[in-house]
């Protein structure tokens, strides 16, 4: 069983909220913006590209594969897609 749960809006660990999807923005539990989803690109809070998700693989800003959706789903129970990948990148990885 995965340690984290994502309901499409909130990422939780053992019941405690650690991340929130606010439109395309990713915020921590205190409401501070930590990143954003820009299509298939995931950006940090300063707008720099940190990863890209093609639907199956996650690649860092240099194009190196860092994870797959199947691997992320082992860590996080929840709705898949770019929002799940972004939550994994900012709060779990």
pLDDT tens for 63-83 read: 999 999 999 999 999 887 999
* DSSP characters over 59-89: EETTS-EEEEHHHHHHHEEE--SHHHHHHII
pLDDT tens for 19-35 read: 999 999 999 999 999 99
Q: What residue ranges do the domains of the chain occupy?
A: 4-92
pLDDT tens for 36-63 read: 999 999 999 999 999 999 999 999 999 9
Cα distance between residue 92 and residue 73, in whole Å: 12
Cα distance between residue 39 and residue 73, in whole Å: 20
pTM, two decimals, is 0.91
């Amino acid at each position: 069983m995965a340690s984290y749960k994502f309901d499409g809006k909130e990422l939780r660990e053992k019941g405690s909220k650690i991340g929130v999807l606010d439109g395309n923005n990713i915020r921590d539990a205190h409401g501070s913006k930590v990143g954003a989803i820009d299509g298939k690109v995931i950006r940090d809070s300063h707008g720099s590209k940190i990863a890209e998700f093609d639907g199956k693989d996650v690649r860092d800003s240099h194009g190196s594969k860092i994870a797959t959706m199947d691997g992320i789903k082992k860590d996080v129970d929840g709705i898949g897609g770019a929002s799940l990948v972004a939550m994994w990148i900012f709060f779990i990885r």
